[in-house]
Amino acid sequence: MPIHLTSQTRRQFLVTVGAGLVACRANASSADIQEELVYLLNDTHIGEKHPPASAVPSHLRQVVNELVDLPRKPSGVLINGDLALKDGQPGDYRHFAKLVAPLREAEIDLHLTLGNHDHRDTFYDVLKEEQPSSPPVESKHISVVETKFANFFLLDSLHKTMVTQGTLGEEQRAWLAKALDDHPDKPALIVTHHNPRLGGDPVHFPGGLTDSEELWKLLSSRKQVKAYIHGHIHDRTYAKHEGIHILNMPATSYVADPKLSTTGWTTARLDANGVTLTTHTNLADHPWNGEQKRIDWLR
Tens of pLDDT, residue by residue over 91-122, are: 999 999 999 999 999 999 999 999 999 999 99
166 within some domain: yes
Confidence of residue 276 (pLDDT cuts 50, 70, 90): very high
Confidence of residue 32 (pLDDT cuts 50, 70, 90): low
Supply the pLDDT for residue 265.
98
Mean pLDDT, all residues of the chain: 90
Closest to 268 in 3D by CA, of 93, 145, 142: 145
Q: Is the pLDDT of residue 191 over 90?
A: yes
2 within some domain: no
pTM for this model (two decimals): 0.91
Total domains in the chain come to 1
Q: Is the pLDDT of residue 27 over 60?
A: no
Confidence of residue 19 (pLDDT cuts 50, 70, 90): very low
126 within some domain: yes
Calpha distance 180→99 (Å, rounded)? 33
Burial class, 295, CB count within 10 angstroms (exposed 0-12 / middle 13-18 / buried 19+): middle
Supply the pLDDT for residue 53.
83
CATH number of the domain residue 48 falls in: 3.60.21.10
1 within some domain: no
| Segments forming the whole domain that contains residue 98 | 7-296
65 within some domain: yes
